[in-house]
């Protein structure tokens, strides 16, 4: 998608998950890297966009699950780009294992349990050291981008989103667009925190959201999902009332 000033956001569908390029004035950010052995697909996509590997300045990892950083090490070696991750997940990258998140439905709770049992065997990837670890909002001006990284915990503790031109949010697994009526992810370590991050993303004023799974979607779908979730959580009495309210403030 063109985003003005000759900048663009390009989704690279990788089967299991999406990666994204944000391109401005011949410089690029790569956000997420898919599963293992996705590096050729990503490099090919960058070539089709007229980028050489050295044009990729930063690789931003929205969180350290295997389907988002499976090809990170290979791409780091090919591009020499700096790697950015939230500080709370830096150790996961160095160990090459980001764990499995908790399920948010009956089915995904079972899948999560299986995932945790199989563990590293299924969810491991080549270890890599990050160059930049962040813990709060991080500006991208230095990399030629009108944008910033915003911590959006919930799916995992160190989940982050990338906000471009105050209109476009690349959100990893904080929002999932695989269901028709909701963007609630099937997995999340802390659902309360996740809803707070949704509110934060909504409050950025962004109009387009680019998830790690599924197609990009508009603000209205997030608003509807937020309303639905808010009602459901308040109705269910899942949390003590003051904490419940705090999740939506
Ligand atoms: Zn994930």
- For residue 33, give every residue at least 6 positions away whose Cβ sits within 8 Å of its Cβ, in sequence order, or none: 19, 39, 42, 59, 61, 68, 69, 70, 71, 72, 75
Quick check: 15 and 47 in contact, CB under 8 A?
no
| pLDDT score of 222 | 96
Please name each of the domains of the chain with its CATH number. 8-246 (3.60.15.10)
Output the pTM of the full model.
Answer: 0.90
Separation of CA 6 and ligand 1 centre (Å): 31
Separation of CA 173 and ligand 1 centre (Å): 5
Separation of CA 34 and ligand 1 centre (Å): 11
Q: What is the pLDDT along the chain (249 residues), one digit of tens a residue?
A: 777 666 899 999 999 899 999 999 889 999 999 999 999 999 999 999 999 999 999 999 999 999 999 999 999 999 999 999 999 999 999 999 998 888 988 888 888 888 777 767 778 999 999 999 999 999 999 999 999 999 999 999 999 999 999 999 999 999 999 988 889 999 999 999 999 999 999 999 999 999 999 999 999 999 999 999 888 776 766 555 555 445 443
Separation of CA 119 and ligand 1 centre (Å): 14
| Alpha helices, H only, the chain | 39-48, 66-69, 72-79, 90-95, 106-118, 120-123, 191-203, 219-236, 241-246
Separation of CA 157 and ligand 1 centre (Å): 11
Separation of CA 15 and ligand 1 centre (Å): 14
| pLDDT score of 237 | 62
Separation of CA 39 and ligand 1 centre (Å): 19
141: which DSSP letter?
G
Separation of CA 93 and ligand 1 centre (Å): 14
Separation of CA 189 and ligand 1 centre (Å): 10
- Round to whole Å and give the CA distance between 93 and 129: 6
Nearest in space to 205 (alpha carbons), one of 219, 190, 221: 219
The string of DSSP letters for 30-61 reads EE---STT-HHHHHHHHHHTT--GGGEEEEE-
| pLDDT score of 5 | 66
Separation of CA 54 and ligand 1 centre (Å): 28
Separation of CA 198 and ligand 1 centre (Å): 16
C-alpha separations of 151 from 21, 29, 171, 182, 200 in Å: 19, 17, 10, 22, 9
| pLDDT score of 248 | 42
Handedness of CA 164, 167, 173, 178 (dihedral sign): negative
């Amino acid at each position: 998608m063109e985003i003005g000033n000759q900048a663009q956001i390009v989704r690279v569908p990788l089967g299991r998950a999406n990666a994204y390029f944000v391109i401005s004035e011949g410089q690029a950010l790569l956000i997420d890297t898919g599963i293992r052995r996705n590096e050729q697909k990503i490099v090919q996509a960058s070539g089709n966009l007229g980028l050489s590997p050295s044009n990729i300045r930063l690789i931003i990892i929205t969180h350290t699950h295997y389907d988002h950083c499976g090809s990170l090490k290979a791409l780091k070696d090919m591009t020499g780009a700096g790697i950015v991750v939230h500080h709370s997940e830096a150790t996961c990258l160095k160990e090459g294992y980001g764990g499995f998140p908790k399920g948010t439905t009956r089915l995904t709770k079972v899948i999560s349990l299986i995932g945790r049992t199989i563990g590293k065997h299924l969810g491991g990837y080549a270890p890599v050291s990050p160059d930049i670890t962040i813990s709060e909002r991080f500006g991208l001006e230095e990399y030629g981008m009108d944008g910033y990284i915003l911590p959006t915990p919930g799916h995992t503790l160190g989940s982050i989103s990338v906000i471009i031109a105050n209109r476009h949010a690349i959100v990893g697994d904080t929002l999932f667009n695989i269901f028709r009526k909701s963007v609630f992810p099937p997995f999340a370590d802390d659902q309360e925190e996740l809803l707070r991050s949704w509110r934060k993303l909504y409050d950025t004023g962004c109009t387009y959201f680019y998830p790690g799974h599924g197609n990009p979607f508009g603000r209205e779908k997030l608003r509807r999902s937020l309303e639905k979730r808010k009602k459901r959580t308040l109705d269910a009495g899942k949390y003590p009332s003051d904490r419940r309210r705090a999740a939506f403030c």
